[in-house]
Amino acid sequence: MNAIQWFEIPALDLERAFAFYSTVLNGNVRKGTFGSGDLILFNVPFATGEAVGGSIVVRPDLKPTTDGGVLYLHAFGALSDAVGKVESAGGKVIVPEINLGKFGYASIIIDSEGNKIGLLSLDR
């Protein structure tokens, strides 16, 4: 069992957020619909319980923020590749690389919507 079961990253513009995450995470996101709302899902096997699932959503009760904790997303490849795409995709790199020893490497960015997000990879 995972401590985190589901997460939602707020967005102001779903198409812009899709373009950003599709670029930075090497296409490992997809568009979806839940109920009457559109969202962006990460390409991980959350339905089988092998991974924690989450989405990027536009909702009036959620606003992007750089305050608070940091949610770390899998970089779907080398950290340097993902970080190298952040600014051209409309984001900002805050911390380019954190060496986590046996746990790999991390970076902290601001996404296209204004959220502080971490990227994590075993590959530098």
* Domain span holding position 33: 6-121
State pLDDT tens for residues 16-63: 999 999 999 999 999 999 988 999 999 999 888 899 999 999 999 999
- Is 101 part of any domain? yes
* Tokens 């950003």 belong to residue: 20
CATH number of the structural domain spanning residue 103: 3.10.180.10
- Is 1 part of any domain? no
pTM for this prediction? 0.94
How many independent structural domains does the chain possess?
1
Q: Residue 2: what pLDDT?
A: 80
* Tokens 């959350």 belong to residue: 46
State pLDDT tens for residues 62-97: 999 999 899 999 999 999 999 999 999 999 999 999
- Is 108 part of any domain? yes
- Nearest-angstrom CA–CA distance, 52 and 5: 6
Q: At a CB cut-off of 8 Å and minimum separation 6, what does 1 contact?
A: none
- Nearest-angstrom CA–CA distance, 108 and 84: 12
Q: Residue 117: what pLDDT?
A: 97
